[in-house]
Chains A and B, each alone.
Chain A
Amino acid sequence: MIPLEWYLALAGLIFGMGALSILINRNLIIVLISLEVMLAGVNLALVALSHYMNDIRGQVLALFSIAVAAGSVAVGLSLLIANFNLRKSIDIEDLRELREEQGND
């Protein structure tokens, strides 16, 4: 039997790679993709814990998380397209509307 820690380490690694990619990528689509990668890592951890703790609640949580992910991605992608129609850009650095004006950038 595979130790639980291995599954959790794998999940943590996938989550961490997603987080890292969100921090450094400029492309909004890649950022949303990294978000999905992070969610996949979390779900993997939930299911692994559910299996090793003999409790099916972890799978129920993972099911909820998958459903909410579907909704959030739909909104995120439609916002992305609306933003693209407005600014002709999917660069994350262009999203500076709400920033306070500063003397020297």
Chain B
Amino acid sequence: MIELIIIFIKTAVVFGVVLAHVAYTTYAERKIIGRAQARMGPMEVGPYGLLQPIADFIKIFFKEDIVPMNAEKVLFQIAPLIVLVFTMINLTVIPFDRNFILADLNIGLLFILASASVAVYGIILAGWSSNSRYSFLGGLRSASQVLSYEIALGLSLAGVVLSAGSLNLREIVIAQHNTVFGVYAIPQIIGFIVFVISAFAETNRAPFDLPEAETELVAGYLTEYSAFRYALFFLAEYVAMYIMAFLCALCFLGGWTIPKFIIDILPFLEKVPGILWFAIKVYAFIFLYIWVRATLPRYRFDQLLNIGWKVLIPAGIVNLLIVAFIKRLGL
């Protein structure tokens, strides 16, 4: 019984912390993009606009929930839930610290890929059930984009799995800590780059935010959504960004550990709690997301698919071959 309560509290803490982060990521995004464009960003609500996310939240939840007349009503209503549930479920297999993990699955990495592939249905259904051209095109675009880039993502992660010899995220981090460099990002630099680019495309973020390209498709699959169903999609997108940041930190940047050679030089760093290193790596990745969004223009759709199939997938295979050779030669 006590164990059950502890698990419940842990889950509540993880979900609460991540949701709070999501709220303030929107704030950070507006502030950083504001800085990049020589503006101030939100300044009105609270000191430096710090209460802006809460104001947005209240506003969006008190709006009217509109369902288009010719929409497939049930599918239209459950589509955002599918996306959100199958994104949030990933949080259970993420190890935040040496001993802080909700469910220590043997196949944690595959679990994340599997639930990502189910979350695509939410987007396709949102596009199809809205019964609107813009939504439908946005949904199809998003589905083909996510499916194409999932192959590249899987290939880049296959290199990590091969060198760590495990699909368990905790064991991947420990195996990583025991290598010379302490992070897989250095020996598997090709895989790392492929992973980062595919992560951007997987979460439908700039410069690959074609599904919601407002210059062409109004808002893509989100066009017909309003009020809190729109907010659920929004939430899911930011949680997905965090999941990708967690994956990147765990599989390529050493998770809660820091490389051994750094500890050799600066031994006092070992006293720093692991969760802090993890948080720093995750924040850096989130900052990269926002930075890229403020900097790069959008790709065309055929360019996007060409990059995915003709550049990233071959690069992923090359990375896998290199890792296999390194592993075979025992370097």
Asked if A and B touch directly (CB within 8 angstroms), the answer is: no
B-to-A contact residues, CB < 8 Å: none
A-to-B contact residues, CB < 8 Å: none
